[in-house]
């Protein structure tokens, strides 16, 4: 009969916990990519701004970003932890059916803020306009296609 030490059962428990945490992490990552699950605008926009700021150039896109009725996003919110001035952020609406300057569309977008009038999922792009030294946060229906915002943002940021 083989005898195992007391540490064997403890190590098996530790290994089980590590495997369970790894599986949970993979599942949460998978769920986060489906249909924008958990992709809230207040979390996504600062992340995209920081990614562009860290790289110093380029464009960061994200589809299926959810806005909830009553949400307001200001320049300070969009800045997040990025070491930039709040005035360096500019919001632009690329699709009049989704956003405009008034309250008759799901989003009201001004240069310095976004106000959500009804629940909606949209596409967002963030890029840096070197000429104006500002981070453009563009909002629209989709990233590509006839109403896509990616090419418009690339043009505004001098990337095309």
Q: What is the pLDDT of residues 138-160, one digit of tens each?
A: 888 887 776 678 888 888 787 76
Most confident of 31-40, 113-122, 141-150: 113-122
Q: Global pTM? A: 0.70
pLDDT tens string 50-77: 888 888 878 888 888 888 888 888 988 8
Instruction: State the DSSP H helix or E strand holding residue 65, giving kind and residue range, or none if neither.
Output: strand 59-67
What secondary structure letter does DSSP report for 80? Answer: T
Element housing 126 (H / E): strand 120-129
Strands 89-93 and 134-140 come out as parallel
């Amino acid at each position: 009969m083989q005898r195992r030490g007391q540490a064997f059962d403890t190590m098996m428990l530790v290994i089980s916990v590590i495997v369970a945490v790894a599986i949970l992490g993979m599942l949460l990552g998978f769920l986060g990519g489906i249909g924008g699950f958990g992709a809230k605008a207040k979390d996504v926009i600062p992340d995209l701004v920081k990614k562009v700021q860290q790289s110093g150039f380029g464009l960061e896109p994200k589809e299926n970003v959810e806005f909830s009725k009553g949400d307001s996003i200001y320049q300070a919110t969009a800045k997040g932890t990025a070491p930039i001035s709040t005035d360096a952020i500019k919001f632009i609406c690329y699709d009049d059916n989704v956003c405009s300057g008034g309250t008759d569309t799901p989003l009201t977008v001004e240069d310095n803020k976004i106000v959500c009038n009804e629940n909606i999922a949209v596409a967002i792009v963030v890029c840096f306009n070197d000429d104006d030294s500002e981070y453009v946060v563009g909002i629209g229906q989709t990233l590509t296609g006839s109403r896509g915002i990616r090419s418009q943002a690339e043009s505004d940021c001098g990337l095309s």
